[in-house]
Amino acid sequence: MKGHPDVSKISAVKAGFGSAALHIGQTEEEIKSVLGKPESRTRKYKGEYYYNYPAKGVELDFGKPGGRVKRIFFFRMGVRGNRQAQVVTDAGIKPGDTRERVLGLLGDPSEQGKPVVLNSGIRFGEWFRYSSGVNFEFGEDGRLDMITITSPDR
């Protein structure tokens, strides 16, 4: 769109912020001016309100209607019905990279969790959280399924 970066060519996102095109703190209108109308909107849990762009491999959580972006999710091809997000972190990590690559580039995470399968059959993969404002979730194959950009720990 005129005046906005082409999000299909996002080359780097910064932990704790995002990119010039998509970043923490943007309004719904700002996101729509960059990405267009969301393919869907969902409210999964209290305090969560998402714009979903599976054709771009991107999901954004505003917290509530009229809120500001709290989390940006970038997906690996096929995860939750998404296409591959065209993104790489400022550390050089992209969806599909291995868990070993993430550890090699960033070192031990601030927190991490083991994979969990809920009674409903929904699977949550192993995850790493870094205080800089970037989180990673891995698939059963040990490859990066999702990169999440959040505000950094203060």
Assess contact for 84 and 76: CB atoms under 8 A.
yes
- What are the structural domains, with CATH classification, of the chain? 7-149 (2.60.460)
Residue-by-residue DSSP string for 90-151: TTS--TT-BHHHHHHHH-S-SEEE--EE-TTS-EE--EEEETTTEEEEE-TTSBEEEEEE-P
User: pTM for this structure?
Assistant: 0.90
User: What is the model's pLDDT at position 115?
Assistant: 87
List the one residue out of 94, 97, 89, 109 whose CA is nearest residue 143. Answer: 97
Report pLDDT digits (tens) over 46-77. Answer: 899 999 999 999 999 999 999 999 999 999 99
Exposed e or buried b per residue across 116-133, where buried means at least 16 C-beta atoms within 10 angstroms of its C-beta? eeeeeeeeebbbbbbebb
List the one residue out of 4, 31, 12 whose CA is nearest residue 91. Answer: 12
Residue 86 is encoded by which pair of tokens?
């065209």
Report pLDDT digits (tens) over 81-108. Answer: 999 999 999 999 999 999 999 999 999 9
How far apart CA 91 and CA 55 sit, in angstroms, is 25
Residue 14 is encoded by which pair of tokens?
């910064």
